[in-house]
Amino acid sequence: NGLPAPLSSIHGTQPDMAIIDHIEILRGPAGLFGGSGEPGGAINMRLKQAPENFAARFDATYGSWNNRRAEIDFGGPLNDAGTIRGRFVGALGKSDHFVDHVDNQVGIAYGTVQADLTENTTATFSISHQKRDITPFNGLPTLADGTLLDIDRSTFTGMGWNDFNSTVTDYIAELEHRFDDGGHAKVSARYSDRSSDYLYGFAGSAATASGEVTQFNWIARQFEETSLALDAHISKPFELFGKENNVIVGVDYRNFDYTWRNLSGHTNQPGNTPVVLDLRNWDINAVPRPVIDFSTAPVTRNDLRQYGVYGQWRFKPLDNLTLIGGARLTWLDLETQTTDQSIDAEFTPYAGIIYDVTDRISAYASFTEI
């Protein structure tokens, strides 16, 4: 809903699509409204909203490798006047894999309530909670010279204790007022709490010509992250010299704070019992589960705080031509366990032009930074 949070597939924080209504993609830098970010583009996921009329849907699927999933989605007015509306979405999924012993489980619950405070003012509050439980697999080794092995694709090179768990909880609150001239003012906030805890082992050496592995590695990680995003903006259309204009001005704030603890080891360390594992007859109980104590693990910590003010002016000198200008000032502080960096009043420009060739086709060009 236009409110950023970090996204990391390695920690399982990507959202399940059951709660998403649609996705908007912006190609190129999104520095005007986003401040810092990736130059390749931005993806905005719009959450499902409470419907004005009651609706319900149930889906169930079953597929290859015992892939099972069920979704329920229902909502509608919560009072006779229809000024309060709600929606609930729930999903459970579990699947095996073409690789032995690998599985993937996900569960999500999402609820949203929307209330019309006045005819033109609406408040929305949404919560989503998601859990993942995965048996991970990190791929097959090769021969020492890089040659791929001719073995069954179902070959698993982990242990029975391979495990990955993640939890994501999101809270979003929005207050929007719509003006009679088509403009609006909106204040919104998003708080995310994410964590993951995983331990998995994998082949730690090249395979011999007979298909044996002489070292087994393991890695354990504990990840905790909180993020807060705030935005307040106003959008107003107006006429200037008889021509259509629109101005957006706003302020935003974000804070991303994460802590990451990491431990690793292997069977050839001093004091460990060496093992030889046969890729064609793999024993998932050959290596005991290591004792994990994250209190002794090195800590990686990032604390990012960003403030910004932004504005955009859209002007239509002709009915089929739109000129766009915008600018942003960004203040950013990044603290880690070893560094402290600051950026003060970073200027981000934006300029664009859109020409409507037909009612359905437009040509555009733009310049911006990030």
List, for residues 90-123, the tens digit of each pLDDT value. Answer: 999 999 999 999 999 999 999 999 999 999 999 9
Cα distance between residue 356 and residue 362, in whole Å: 4
Flag whether pLDDT at 47 surpasses 80: yes
Checking if the pLDDT of 80 tops 90, the result is yes
Q: Are 18 and 335 in contact (CB under 8 A)?
A: no
Average pLDDT over residues 259-281: 89
Give the DSSP H/E element, type plus range, for residue 115.
Answer: strand 104-116
What is the model's pLDDT at position 212? Answer: 93
pLDDT for the residue numbered 11:
82
Q: Is the distance from CB of 219 to CB of 263 less than 8 angstroms?
A: yes
251-279 core/surface letters (b: 16 or more CB in 10 A; e: else): ebbbbbbbbbbebebbbeeeeeeeeebeb
pLDDT exceeds cutoff 80 at 16: yes
| Per-residue pLDDT at 168 exceeds 90 | yes
pLDDT of residue 22: 97
d(CA 200, CA 284): 12
Task: Report residue 296: phi and psi, to 5°.
Answer: -100, 0
Other CB atoms within 10 Å distance of the CB of residue 58: 9
Query: Residue range 68-79: average pLDDT?
Result: 97
Banded model confidence at residue 199, pLDDT cuts 50, 70, 90: very high
- At 14, is the pLDDT very low, low, confident or very high (cuts 50, 70, 90)? confident
pLDDT at residue number 196: 94
Element spanning 70, H or E: strand 67-77
Most confident of 30-34, 39-43, 187-191, 364-368: 187-191
Range of lowest pLDDT (1-15, 151-165, 329-343) = 1-15
What residues form DSSP beta bridges with 258? 225, 302
Collapse the DSSP code of 18 into the 3-class scheme (helix H, G, I; strand E, B; otherwise coil) and give the result: helix
Please report the pLDDT score of residue 26 as a whole number.
Answer: 87
Q: Once rounded to an integer, what is the mean pLDDT over residues 281-286? A: 93
**Is the pLDDT score of 8 beyond 80?**
no
Would you place residue 6 in the very low, low, confident or very high pLDDT band (cuts 50, 70, 90)? Answer: confident
Task: Say what the pLDDT of residue 271 is.
Answer: 79
In this structure, what DSSP letter does residue 151 have?
-
Give pLDDT, residue 360: 95
Q: Which two tokens stand for residue 43?
A: 């993806």
In DSSP terms, 362 is beta-bridged to 356
Q: What confidence tier does 27 reach under pLDDT thresholds 50, 70, 90?
A: confident
Q: What is the C-alpha to C-alpha distance for residues 172 and 157, in angstroms, rounded to an integer? A: 41
Residue-wise pLDDT tens digits, 220-268: 999 999 999 999 999 999 988 888 899 999 999 999 999 999 999 999 8
Pairwise pLDDT comparison (40 vs 249), residue with the higher score: 249
**How does pLDDT run across 299-341, given as a tens digit for each residue?**
889 999 999 999 999 999 998 999 999 999 999 999 988 889 9
Question: Average pLDDT, whole number, for the chain?
Answer: 93
> Residue 113 has what pLDDT?
98
